[in-house]
């Protein structure tokens, strides 16, 4: 006669053989015979979690803990399940309970650190990783995650050291790749930029030579080379080398949707187009894409929005309403691409590639006959399954096609249809004194070391002006930039006020209150410039060598207002000085911006230009 232990054993054997259905059936039979066994309920919870039945898994974990509230392993596994369901705060609580019962569990400390990192509490995550290492000095994942946290905070030397420790202990491919891609988020100098780019290429060459094979880039790597685009250099060769490595080392990335084997018919009633991103909510990407998605004529297009985000806000609701179909994709590369393939799209339109890993790795698949990307992250991808990069003739320099692995499409206007922000016209007296207020509201990783010399001259020449920057996402970023400024500017750096992080309303008031906005060279403002010009606030810009440093120039060209476009660094300093010293000129310039800014907002010609491109791209197959 089969007893409860037999069913329990058979369930575990089925689970080990990846037979989740059979394992669940056996475990449920065991529970039916003896529902007071905490260990059986806990194991059933683990199996249900692995099978994706999270609600049922939670029931079993809770039942197990009622029977035995002192088992640290159950709290640990419950934390894993809650983390996978996105309930990070609750998961953190379960790990805390597990650690209180077993402080020597390195994996619990490590996973707790991972949750804290997801919650943007990176400094606390580092403490957790240190405790994991104290519990087990040979626990390689803690060193790897420690390095990732240090990299996020800009401590490249610490990250380099801990990636090396992880590689020495386990030698896994993911740690080697992350070590190779390591770049400073706030560079100390141009020399440091060149040093780490050279390091990246050398390590990539070694990875290519070693003929490595791995299966899951999301879990094993889980990052992109985001910081590369901020160096002000041609990234095409490096981007192509990185993509070539992934294509070679991770065969699972290559996937072709069956419907792509035949050419789409232009005679069909509607073109099926899908827009994909992880940022289709109140984010720059969502704001840049909304009106294009909404504006494509439904008589000609069947529009789908494919979102990797579970954030629900005002903008995600707008995008849901704008789309004919809004699909929330799972954080599983294989399931996501099967879902997209099933839609049998004619065109797959990436709003951005390179900010986060999901869409970057997804782009290695052929999921539509035409696949294109636009300027959400304004740098070439290097990926051979991306056919087109959609940009603008207003922003691209001569010979720009040489900087892209994709075929460059230069529309007549900026490729995004943007609505003017709903500013209420209020300024904020507490943000300024009686002096001209000069603001640079860009993210701190946009501050190229070459900008320091320009800022130093502006500070030197405009002693009565007030200068405000916005602090970084992490205090460590602000500290790194302040340290660099002190070295490159001396005492002049003391005049720069780092404004604490602002909410949406406070940010709008700052933009409207400012007399002058400073644009960052090499990687300039995008949505920031749209917003500043909407507030009639002049943006002084120095166009760079690549599109990512020329967006503000493109907007000014569209407005036919070039007063604040500098020819070189000296001219940039001079324009700022003239505006700081001459209030009449500032007022005149605001009036000029006010009278022409309508040319950059709600530009319906963008939709027509995109439609023309879509139809031509399909015809060219």
CATH code (residue 346)? 3.40.50.11380
d(CA 11, CA 7): 6
Instruction: Residue 460: give its domain's CATH number.
Output: 3.40.50.2000
Q: Are residues 403 and 319 in the same domain?
A: yes
Condensed to tens digits (0 to 9), the pLDDT of residues 519-543 reads: 999 999 999 999 999 999 999 999 9
Both tokens assigned to 585: 């000129």
Q: What pLDDT, on the 0 to 100 scale, is given for residue 336?
A: 94
Asked whether residue 96 falls in the same domain as residue 139, the answer is yes
In a domain, 46, yes or no: yes
Residue 385 included in any domain: yes
Q: Give the residues across from 468 on adjacent strands.
A: 439, 497
pLDDT in tens, 195-251: 999 999 999 999 999 989 999 999 999 999 999 999 999 999 999 999 999 999 999
Write out pLDDT tens, residues 350-389.
Answer: 999 999 999 999 999 999 999 999 999 999 999 999 999 9
Largest CA distance in the chain: 97
Average pLDDT, rounded, for the chain: 95
Domain total of the chain:
3
In DSSP terms, 388 is beta-bridged to 372, 407
Q: Is the pTM of this model over 0.85?
A: yes
Q: Is 215 a member of any domain?
A: no
- Mark which of 189, 216, 235 sits at the end of a domain: 189
Same domain, 149 and 81: yes
What span, in angstroms and rounded, lies between the C-alpha atoms of 566 and 562?
A: 9
Length of the chain: 621
Q: What is the pLDDT at residue 1?
A: 64
Please report, for the domain that includes residue 163, its CATH number: 1.25.40.10
41 and 117 co-located in one domain:
yes
Separation CA 367–CA 360 (nearest Å): 13
Classify residue 18 as left (phi > 0), alpha (psi -120 to 50) or beta.
left
Question: Is residue 230 assigned to a domain?
Answer: no
Q: Are residues 29 and 112 in the same domain?
A: yes
- Domain boundaries, position 117: 4-189
Both 388 and 455 in a single domain?
Answer: no
Calpha distance 20→52 (Å, rounded): 10
pLDDT of the residue at 369: 97
Helical (H) or strand (E) element with 467: strand 466-470
Which of 164, 189, 214 is the last residue before a domain boundary?
Answer: 189
Q: In this structure, is residue 390 part of a structural domain?
A: yes
Q: Report residue 199: phi and psi, to 5°.
A: -60, -45
Q: Is residue 424 part of a domain?
A: no
Residue 27 pLDDT grade (very low, low, confident, very high; cuts 50, 70, 90) = very high
One domain, residues 404 and 486: no
CB of 527 closer than 8 Å to CB of 315: no
Of 189, 210, 230, the one marking the end of a domain is 189
pLDDT tens-digit map of 449-473: 999 999 999 999 999 999 999 999 9
Q: Examine residue 212 and state whether it is found in any structural domain, yes or no.
A: no
358 and 290 both lie in a single domain: yes
Q: Are residues 158 and 70 in the same domain?
A: yes
Predicted confidence (pLDDT) per residue in 551-570, tens digit? 999 999 999 999 999 999 99
Q: Which residues contact 557 (CB under 8 A, 6 or more apart)?
A: 394
Q: Are residues 356 and 439 in the same domain?
A: no
- Residue 184 belongs to a domain: yes
Tell me: do 41 and 74 sit in the same domain. Answer: yes
Domain identity same for 532 and 414: no
């Amino acid at each position: 006669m089969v007893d409860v232990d037999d069913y329990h054993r058979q369930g575990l054997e089925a689970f080990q053989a990846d037979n989740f259905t059979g394992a669940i059936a056996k475990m449920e039979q065991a529970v039916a015979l003896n529902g007071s066994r905490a260990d059986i309920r806990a194991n059933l919870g683990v199996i249900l979690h692995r099978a994706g039945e999270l609600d049922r898994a939670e029931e079993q974990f809770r039942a197990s803990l009622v029977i035995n509230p002192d088992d640290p392993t159950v709290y640990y596994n419950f934390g894993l399940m809650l983390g996978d369901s996105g309930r990070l705060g609750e998961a953190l609580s379960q790990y805390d309970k597990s650690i209180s019962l077993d402080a020597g569990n390195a994996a619990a400390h490590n996973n707790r650190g991972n949750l804290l990192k997801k919650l943007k509490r990176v400094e606390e995550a580092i403490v957790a990783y240190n405790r994991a290492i104290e519990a087990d000095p040979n626990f390689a994942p803690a060193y790897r995650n420690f390095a990732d946290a240090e990299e996020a905070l800009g401590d490249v030397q610490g990250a380099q050291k801990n990636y090396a420790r992880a590689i020495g202990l386990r030698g896994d491919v993911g740690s080697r790749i992350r070590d190779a891609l390591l770049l400073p988020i706030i560079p100390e100098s141009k020399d440091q930029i060149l040093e780490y780019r050279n390091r990246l290429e050398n390590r990539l060459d070694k990875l290519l030579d070693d003929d490595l094979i791995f299966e899951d880039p999301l879990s094993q790597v889980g990052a992109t080379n985001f910081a590369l685009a901020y160096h002000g250099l041609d990234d095409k060769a490096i981007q192509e080398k990185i993509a070539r490595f992934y294509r070679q080392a991770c065969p699972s990335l290559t996937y072709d949707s069956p419907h792509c084997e035949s050419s789409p018919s232009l005679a069909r009633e509607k073109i099926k187009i899908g827009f994909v991103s992880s940022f289709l909510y109140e984010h720059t990407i969502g704001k840049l894409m909304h009106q294009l998605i909404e504006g494509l004529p439904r008589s000609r297009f069947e529009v789908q929005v494919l979102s990797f985000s579970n954030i629900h806000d005002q903008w995600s609701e707008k995008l849901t309403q704008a789309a004919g179909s809004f699909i929330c994709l799972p954080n599983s590369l294989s399931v996501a691409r099967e879902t997209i393939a099933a839609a049998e799209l004619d065109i797959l339109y990436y709003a951005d590639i390179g900010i986060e890993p999901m869409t970057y790795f997804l782009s290695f698949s052929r999921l539509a006959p035409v696949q294109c990307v636009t300027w959400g992250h304004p740098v070439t991808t290097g990926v051979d399954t991306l056919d087109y990069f959609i940009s603008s003739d207003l922003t691209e320099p001569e010979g720009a096609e040489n900087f892209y692995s994709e075929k460059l499409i230069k529309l007549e206007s900026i490729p995004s249809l943007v609505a003017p922000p709903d500013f209420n016209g209020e300024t904020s007296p507490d943000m300024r004194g009686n002096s001209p207020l000069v603001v640079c509201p860009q993210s701190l990783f946009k501050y190229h070391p070459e900008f320091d010399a320009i800022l130093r001259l502006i500070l030197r020449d405009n002693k009565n002006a007030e200068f405000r920057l916005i602090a970084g996402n992490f205090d460590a970023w602000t500290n790194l930039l302040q340290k660099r400024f002190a070295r490159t500017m001396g005492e002049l750096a003391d005049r720069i006020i780092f404004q604490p992080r602002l909410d949406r309303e406070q940010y709008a008031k700052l933009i409207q209150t400012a007399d002058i906005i400073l644009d960052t060279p090499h990687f300039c403002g995008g949505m920031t410039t749209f917003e500043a010009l909407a507030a009639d606030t002049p943006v002084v810009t120095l166009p760079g060598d690549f599109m990512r440093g020329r967006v503000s120039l493109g907007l000014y060209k569209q407005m036919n207002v070039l007063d604040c476009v500098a020819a070189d660094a000296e001219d940039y300093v001079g324009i700022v000085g003239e505006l700081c010293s001459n209030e009449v000129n500032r007022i005149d310039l605001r009036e000029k911006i006010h009278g022409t800014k309508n040319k950059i907002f709600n530009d319906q010609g963008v939709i027509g230009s995109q439609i023309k491109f879509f139809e031509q791209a399909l015809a060219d197959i």
